[in-house]
Amino acid sequence: MTDHLLQEDSKHSRYQLPESIQRPSKVAKINGEDFTDDAEQDEGEEERKLVEKNMNPNPRLQRYLVAIEYIGTRFSGAQQQSNCRTVVGVLEDAFQKFIGQPVSIFCSSRTDAGVHALSNVCHVDVERISKRKPGEVLPPHEPSVVKRAVNHFLQKNDSDMMVIDVRCVPFDFHARYKAQERTYFYRLSTGKEPLSTFEKDKAWHVPEELDLLAMQKACKILVGRHDFSSFRAAACQAKSPIRNLDELTVTEVGSSPYFPTVTEREQSNFAAEDSFSPLNRSKIDPCVSGSFNQLNVQNSDGEVSQGFGIRKRNRCFVVTARARSFLYHQVRLLVGVLKAVGTGDLTVPDVERILKVKTVTAASPMAPACGLYLGHVKYDLPSDV
C-alpha cells in the first residue's frame, strides 16, 4: 500500500522559515487592563517557547495542515500524554509508519477526553527521505497521498479517527495561532426514552422536556464580549477571562441516526415530479396504500405509541457556540446553564445574574463531555499554495 502511495511526487514548492516567527498581535488596553489576544491567552509562555523551539527552519521540510475527525470517547484527550491513548499520539504513530521517522504534531484545539471532533486541525512537518537510497531527499508528497497513506494506517487499528483533509502551507503557518474562529456543537437528547444504542456517548440525555424559547432568550444575554469568569473552570490557565462569544444558539434538529417516517416518505413521494400515475405510484410505494400508515396506536396507559417494534424518538437539540477561542470548559458550562433554563431550574434573569457575579460556583453543573463536538476551525488560508 505504502509503496504505491510513494510513487506520486509533489509539485508544491517548499517554504523557508521567515526571520521572525509571526505572533498574534496584541489588543489595546481596555479600561486600564491589558487583554492580550485570545489565541495567545490560551497558551502559556512555556508552551510557546517549546513550540518555537521545535519550528526547525529546515528547507527540506514540508508543513501540512491536516484536518481530522474522531470519536472522543476512545481517547484520553487530544494532548500527548504518557501511558494514555491520545489523539496526537495515535496520529503521530500513523505518520511515523508512513514516512519512517518520528514527527511532532500540533493541534488547533486541545479537546478533553470524551469530546468528539467533526474537524480538528493540526500541522505537521514532513521530510520525505528515499527508502531505496537512504539520505536522498525527495520532493514532498502530494496532500492526497498523505491523506490516503495516513488513513491506511489509522484504519488498520480501531478506525476511530480519520484524516478528512490535507493541505500544504508555508512553514510559519501554525494550526493554533493562525486559527481565526472555532465552532463547537453540543447535542442534547430530551425525553423519557433512554439514549439509543447509536447515540450512546454521543449526546447528553435529559429526561425533562426543554423550553426552547427560554433557552434562546438566555443565549442572547451571553452573546458578545464579556468577562466569562462564571463559565471558566478553576484549572483554566488563560491570562484573562474576557472572551468575545460571536454566536450562541439552540436549534431543534432530527434525532440521530435519522430515518424518515411513513408520513415523511409519503410526502416526499407526492412532492416528487409526477412521473407516475397515481395507480402506479400506489403499487410502487406500499405506504400509499394505507396498510403501513396506521402505526400510531394507544397503549394500555393511554399514551400514543409508534406501534410495536418502532422506537419512540426523543427530541434533539443542538447548542452552537462560535468564537475565536474559549476558556477551559467554557462551552460545557454554558450548556449546563442553558439546560437549566430549559428545564425551568433557572430563569433568563438568573443567567444575567450568573454572568455578572463572575464566579464559576454560581453556574449550573457542567454538561458532560460526550455531547460536545469540535465542529470547525476557520483559517485565512494562503491562496498560493
Q: Which are the catalytic amino acids?
A: 112
End-to-end CA distance of the chain: 27
Residues 322 and 378: their CA atoms lie apart, in Å, by: 10
Please give the Cα distance from 223 to 216 (Å, whole number): 11
Cβ atoms of 158 and 174 within 8 Å: the answer is no
Whether the CB-CB separation of 87 and 68 falls below 8 Å is answered with yes
| CA angle (317 as vertex; 322, 158 as ends), nearest 5 | 80
Q: ω before 286 within 30° of 0 (cis)? A: no
**CA–CA distance, 231 with 186 (Å, rounded to integer):** 16
One-letter identity of residue 371? G
